[in-house]
Amino acid sequence: MTDSSNVTAIHERLDGRLVLPGEAGYDEARSVWNAMVDRRPRMVVRCASVGDVVAAVRTARELDLELGVRCGGHSIVGLAVPEEGLMVDLRPMGGVRVDPVRRRAWVQGGALLGALDREVQRYGLATTAGNVSHTGVGGLTLGGGMGWLARQYGLTCDNVVSFTMVTADGDVVRASRTENPELFWGLRGGGGNFGIVTEFEFRLHPVGTRALVAEYTFPLDRALPALRAWRDLNARAPRQATFTASVGGDGLVRAGFVWVGDPGQGRLLLPEMRALGRPVSERVAEPSYLELQRVDDSVQGHTSRRYWKGHYLGGFPDAAIEAFLRRGVAAGDAGLPSVSLQAYGGAIADVPDQDAAFSHRNTLFEYVCAARWSEPAEDRTRMGAARRAAAELEPYATGAYVNVLSDEGAEGVRRAYPPGKLARLTVLKNAFDPHNVFHLNHNIRPGRA
Ligand SMILES: Cc1cc2nc3c(=O)[nH]c(=O)nc-3n(C[C@H](O)[C@H](O)[C@H](O)COP(=O)(O)OP(=O)(O)OC[C@H]3O[C@@H](n4cnc5c(N)ncnc54)[C@H](O)[C@@H]3O)c2cc1C
C-alpha cells in the first residue's frame, strides 16, 4: 500500500514531480491519445532525470505497484496508463541535442517526434520518424518506426546508434553494436519490454527540407483498376516515393504517394499517376518536410474514441484489392472506419531479417483500419465495423506491426514476431526482466523460450 511515508520518500528523491490523484496535472497526465482510456494511476512520476526514472522503477517495485511508461501516449489502447499503478511520465525529458557535423541526434526518452524533426531540420537533416508529430519517439522507435523516409534510410529503429536504458533493477545500461549487443538487437523492434530508455542516439541524413504529396480521388466503383495500376507502379517506384492509398469514411478512394526530396523529381511520377484511371480530382502539394510531418496532426488529435486494426501484407493480389475496397461492409452500416495502405520496401528490406527484433521486412504494404467516433454508446458498433473490415484482409496478412496492435493480446505478439524471433526475445526478457516488471506493453512473457 502507498502511505504518506512512501510518498514523502519518493517525493524527496525527485528532480521532477510526483503527481497524486486530485492534484493539478493529474488528469492531464493520465489522458492519452485514445479518449476511451480512462484509467487512474495511484501516482504519476513526472521524471526530469535518469535518476528520477531509477527512483520511479525502484518505488514501483518496493510498493508492488504496476508500472506504466508514458512517452507520447499514443499506444492505441493506452498501455502507458496503469489502473491503480505507478505511471512513469517521461515527457519532461523531451530534449533533443544535435551534432550537425557528425550527423547525430541525442533524444531523451520522453520526446515527441515533432521535437526531433524540428531540431534536426534546422540543418536540413532528418531521420525516419512517423507521420504524426505528437507521437512519442519512445514507443515508435522501440516498436520499429515507419515514416516517409523509411524507404530511403530504413525504419526509425534502424537509425539508432545507441540506447541508454534503466533496467527493472534500477541499473543504467547502454546498448549499441558493441555494448550489450543482444539488448541492442531486442530494443530495435521488441517494444518497451526490457527497460525504460532514457536516451536514443540517432543517425541523421541530409534530406533537405522539401517534399511533394500527390493524391488522386476515385469513386468506389472505378477504383479497382486504378488500385491495380497503383500497385504495379509501386513495384517500380523510386525510394524517395512512399505509395499511399485509402478509403475514407466518405467511401471515396484516394491513391498517390508522398515524396521526400526534390519535388521536381517527384513530379516526374505524375504522368503515370494520372494514367491510373479517371480520377474525380487531383491534389498535388509541395509542403516543407516539417509541414508534411504535421499534416495529419489535427485529424489524429486527442479527443476522439479510437480503435485500430492492422496487417502486414506481403503481396496485394487483385482479390486483396477487392477485399480492401469492400471493407467488410454489412447492409445498413453507418460510421465506417477508414482503411489505408502505406508501402514498405526499399531500405527497410535491405536490412537482414536477423539484424533486429523488428520482423516482416519483406512487407509490401502496411494496412491500417482506423475507427474514430465520440459517443460511448457507439463503441460496440464502431469496433465491430473495424474488426469486420480488417477480417476481410486477414487471408492476405503475413504478420502485424507491433505498434499498431490493440487488444489482440498474446496472439498479436505472435503475429508481430515469427517463432524464432519470439524465442530469442524471450531469452532476452529472462535476462533483463525475469519478473515482468515491464508488462504494460505488447508483452514478451519471461519463461521457457
Ligand atoms: C495518431 C498515430 C499515428 C501513428 N503514426 C505512426 C507512424 O507514422 N509510424 C509508426 O511506426 N507508428 C505510428 N503509430 C504507432 C505508434 O508507433 C505507437 O502507437 C507507439 O506505441 C506510440 O508511442 P508513444 O511513445 O507515443 O506511446 P506511449 O503510449 O507513450 O507508449 C507506448 C508504449 O511504448 C513503451 N515506451 C514508450 N516510451 C518508452 C521509453 N522511453 N522507454 C521504454 N518504453 C517506452 C511503453 O511500453 C509504452 O506502453 C501511430 C500511432 C498513432 C496513435
Question: 180 C-alpha to center of ligand 1: Å?
Answer: 24
Q: Is the predicted pLDDT of residue 273 greater than 70, yes or no?
A: yes
Residue 131 has which C-alpha cell? Answer: 507521420
CB of 33 shorter than 6 A to ligand 1: yes
CATH entry 3.30.465.10 includes domain 96-207: yes
Helices 4-13 and 50-62: angle between axes, nearest 10 degrees: 160
With the most atoms of ligand 1 within 8 angstroms of its CB, the residue from 86, 308, 403 to mutate is 403
Task: Determine the Cα–Cα distance for residues 379 and 363; give it in Å rounded to an integer.
Answer: 31
Cell of 197: 530508455
Matching residue, cell 480512462 = 38
Residue 6 has what pLDDT? 72
Contact 180, 195 (CB under 8 A): no
323-375 pLDDT tens trace: 999 998 876 677 789 999 999 999 999 999 999 999 999 999 999 999 999 99
Which residues face 200 on adjacent strands? 107, 163
pLDDT at 399: 98
Helices within 293-364 (DSSP H only): 318-326, 347-350
- Span 374-398, pLDDT tens digits: 999 999 999 999 999 999 999 999 9
* CATH, domain 211-404, list 3.30.413.10, 1.10.20.60, 3.40.462.20, 3.30.70.1060: 3.40.462.20
* CB-CB contact of 150 with 344 (8 Å): yes
- Please tell me the predicted confidence (pLDDT) of residue 331: 65
Looking from the CA of residue 155, the nearest atom of ligand 1 is: 11
Q: What angle do CA 216, 218, 222 make, to 5 degrees?
A: 135
Give yes or no on whether 4-89 and 96-207 have one common fold.
Answer: no
Residues in the chain: 449
Q: Which residue would you say has higher pLDDT here, 131 or 3?
A: 131
Domain ranges for the chain: 4-89, 96-207, 211-404
Ligand 1 contacts CB of residue 69 (under 6 A) = yes
Burial of 332 from C-beta contacts in 10 A (0-12 / 13-18 / 19+): exposed
Question: pLDDT class for 11, splitting at 50, 70, 90?
Answer: confident
Q: Report how far apart, in Å, the C-alpha atoms of 344 and of each of 262, 296, 310 are.
A: 21, 20, 14
Cell of 233: 507502379
Please tell me the least confidently modeled range out of 4-8, 186-190, 436-440.
Answer: 4-8
Q: Residue 251: left (phi > 0), alpha (psi -120 to 50), or beta?
A: left
* Residue 1, pLDDT above cutoff 60: no
Name the average pLDDT for the chain: 96
Distance CA 233, CA 284 (A): 18
What pLDDT score was predicted for residue 377? 97
b (16+ CB within 10 A) / e for 356-370: bbbbbbebbbbbbbb
Using pLDDT thresholds of 50, 70 and 90, give the confidence band for residue 261: very high
Q: How far apart are CA 318 and CA 387, in angstroms?
A: 21
What are the residue ranges of helices labelled H in 36-191?
A: 50-62, 113-121, 137-143, 150-153, 181-187
Cβ of 189 closer than 6 Å to ligand 1, yes or no, is: no
Give the per-residue pLDDT at 7: 76
Residue 79 confidence class, pLDDT cut points 50, 70, 90: very high
Asked if 324 and 340 touch (Cβ cutoff 8 Å), the reply is no
Task: State the distance from the centre of ligand 1 to the C-alpha of 3, rounded, in angstroms.
Answer: 32
Specify the residue for cell string 474514430: 372
Q: For the segment 279-299, what is each residue's pLDDT rounded down to a tens digit?
A: 999 999 999 999 999 999 988
**Contact assessment for residue 257 and residue 273, using Cβ atoms and an 8 Å cutoff:** yes
- Predicted confidence at residue 81, as pLDDT, reads 98
* Across 44-51, average pLDDT: 98
Neighbours of 27 (CB within 10 A): 12
Closest ligand 1 atom to Cα of 144: 11
Q: 273 C-alpha to center of ligand 1: Å?
A: 33
- In whole angstroms, what is the distance from residue 432 CA to residue 9 CA? 26
Largest distance between two CA atoms of the chain: 71
For residue 131 and ligand 1, the question of a CB distance below 6 A is answered with: yes
Partners of 90 in the β-ladder: none
Which residue CA neighbors atom 52 of ligand 1 most closely?
A: 74
The answer, yes or no, to whether any atom of ligand 1 lies below 6 A from the CB of 72, is: yes
Is the distance from the beta carbon of residue 111 to the nearest atom of ligand 1 less than 6 Å? Answer: no
Q: Which residue has the cell 517525493?
A: 11
- CB distance 79 to ligand 1 below 6 Å: yes
Q: What is the pLDDT of residues 91-110, one digit of tens each?
A: 999 999 999 999 999 999 99
Q: Which three cell numbers stand for residue 261?
A: 526530396
Phi, psi dihedral angles at 236 (to 5 degrees)? -110, 5
Quote the ligand 1 centre to 143 CA distance (angstroms): 8
Strand partners, 69: 88
Share of the chain above pLDDT 70, in %: 99
> Taking 70 as the threshold, does the pLDDT of residue 83 lie above it?
yes
Model pTM score = 0.97
Question: H-type helices in 63-176, by residue range?
Answer: 113-121, 137-143, 150-153
Q: Is 70 in the pocket of ligand 1 (CB under 6 A)?
A: yes
Structure letter (DSSP) for residue 337: P
192 pocket-lining for ligand 1 (C-beta < 6 Å): yes
Cell of 240: 524517395
- 449, 430 in Cβ contact below 8 A? yes
The pLDDT value recorded for residue 2 is 56
Q: Rounded CA gap, 25 and 55, in Å?
A: 20
Mutate which of 52, 107, 142, 172 for ligand 1? The one with the most ligand atoms within 8 Å of its CB, which is 142
CB 94 near ligand 1, within 6 Å: no
Residue 3: pLDDT band (50, 70, 90) is low
- At 440, list the grid cell: 504494460
Cell 535518469 found at: 50
For the chain, state the CA radius of gyration.
22
| Cβ–Cβ < 8 Å for 361, 299 | no
**Domain topology for 4-89:** 3.30.43
**160-216: pLDDT as tens digits:** 999 999 999 999 999 999 999 999 999 999 999 999 999 999 999 999 999 999 999
